[in-house]
A and B are shown apart, each in its own frame.
Chain A
Amino acid sequence: MTQVSMTVNGKAVSGDVEGRTLLSSFLRDHLALTGTHVGCDTAQCGACVVHVNGEAVKSCNMLALEAEGAEVGTIEGQAAEDGTLNTIQQAFQDHHGLQCGFCTPGMVMSAAALLKENPRPSEAEIRKYLEGNLCRCTGYHNIVKAIMAASGQDVTSIAAE
């Protein structure tokens, strides 16, 4: 066992992990931050996306020890302390950007990374950016709509194809 320390959603945390402990397991099993979902565990679905030093990564495909000293952001850190949803989360709710909600933590974290890089993405840019986030319920249209809305853009033109 090795001690690992990092900052998660602004709080300093540490724990004893094995070499093979994944970042997703550290978050879920050691810190009980179960908002980060594990869908495929093979780097395909993006449900486990978190931010490491501001960049979106699949936490099922990164060792916890690789995040030593890093600033990690998870879905639990998105809403305000009192539970008020942030702009992206609120837009997902307003535009029905989720059904079962399993993919949603990863979608929201990817969307946040996208909007930081590109504050007013086009519809095509959003779809391209979400290539690594799979949703089996929504058909994506409302997710795209929510992200357009969260970036302050008009969404009336995005009809279901």
Chain B
Amino acid sequence: MYSFEFEKPSTIADAVAALGGEDAQALGGGQTLIPTLKQRLAAPTKLVSVSGIAEMKGVCVEDDGSVAIGGATTHATVAREAAGSYPALAALAGQIGDPAVRNRGTIGGSIANNDPAACYPAAVLGSGATIVTNARQIAADDFFEGMFGTALDEGEIITSVRFPVPQAASYQKFLQPASRFALVGAYVARFASGVRVAITGASEDGVFRWSEAEAALDKEFRPDALMGLKINPMNMIGDLHGSKDYRAHLVSVMTKRAVEACM
């Protein structure tokens, strides 16, 4: 790692001020950022830890029934504390990495990073969540901008994520056993207003909504409604873990399993 200064403010306002300096970067749980720094793929002059900011931690149910999760809340806390209010989301958080990773890694860090194989982006996009930052609110549909890209500005921090709670939802992850990320993951959420299907792990463009599947499931919410629906392998990721065709096939299989789990 190149050397950097370290700051750990206790309020959002102080963190935003500290991030104002040139080449300052937010530090969540460090589960992605520290390995990145070790590889010298990033060289911030200052890291601003958000882990000491109490107002960015915890899970709560809002008046309108949505579940709000502080940006610095760990995966382990979400797995425990959202189990009653949004079970599919809690189950997803409980499947990220391993226990030690879940004790440090945060929802804000995961979403800001937008790894193409990460789990949370599927839940955020699949639920139609709202990303709340120190400056504004961003709809999930406008937030993810391709592999590792997001709508966040320099120095902008995710302070919380608000999830509307669907009637039924399920995340089905096909594990890449070496990395423990998703080789392909499908998040299906059924709302009174319609079905949302978000796919992670599969596309060169990162997480995406599978609109053909959504339309088919809107007509008829059962696994067979997806029969014959195939995704174009052209834009899929092809690597030593799975070819483009294999990933395209998994998209159908995992989506179908997610629908089955919602029944």
B51 at the interface (CB under 8 A from A): yes
Q: Are B47 and A19 within 8 A (Cβ)? A: yes
A27 to B: closest C-beta gap in Å = 15
Q: Is B38 an interface residue (CB 8 A)?
A: yes
Please count how many residues in chain B sit with their CB below 8 Å of the partner chain's CB atoms: 27
Do residues B6 and A113 form an inter-chain contact, with CB atoms below 8 A? no
Query: Do B34 and A62 have beta carbons less than 8 Å apart?
Result: yes
- B238 nearest CB across to chain A (Å): 24
Are B8 and A110 in contact, with the CB atoms below 8 A?
Answer: no
Does B31 have its Cβ within 8 Å of any Cβ on chain A? yes
Q: Which of A2, A46, A57 touches B103 (beta carbons < 8 Å)?
A: A57
Asked if A35 lies at the interface with its beta carbon under 8 angstroms from chain B, I say no
Q: How many residues of chain A are within 8 Å of chain B by beta carbon?
A: 28
CB pair B51 A56 closer than 8 Å: no
Q: A46 contacts which chain B residues (CB < 8 A)?
A: 98, 100
| Residues of chain A contacted by B97 (CB below 8 angstroms) | 131-132
A55 interfacial contact with B, CB 8 Å:
yes
- Chain B interface SS verdict (over half): mixed
B31 to chain A, nearest CB (A): 6
CB distance from A75 to the nearest CB of B (A): 15
> What distance in Å separates the Cβ of B97 from its nearest Cβ neighbour in chain A?
7
Residues in chain B near residue A18, CB distance under 8 A: 3
Question: B194 in the interface, Cβ–Cβ < 8 Å?
Answer: no
Q: In the bound complex, how far is the Cα of B6 from the Cα of A80, in angstroms?
A: 36
Cβ–Cβ contact B4 & A19, under 8 A: yes
Interface, chain B (partner A; CB < 8 A): 1-6, 8, 27, 30-31, 34-35, 37-38, 46-47, 49, 51, 76, 97-101, 103-104, 180
A–B Cβ pairs within 8 angstroms, 9 of them: A20-B3, A43-B31, A46-B100, A61-B34, A61-B35, A62-B30, A62-B34, A62-B104, A66-B8
Q: Which 10 A-B pairs have the closest CB atoms?
A: A132-B98, A19-B6, A131-B98, A55-B103, A20-B1, A58-B100, A56-B100, A65-B6, A19-B4, A61-B34
Which residues of chain A have a CB within 8 Å of any CB of chain B? 2, 18-20, 22, 41-43, 46, 49, 52, 55-58, 61-63, 65-66, 68, 110, 113-114, 129, 131-133
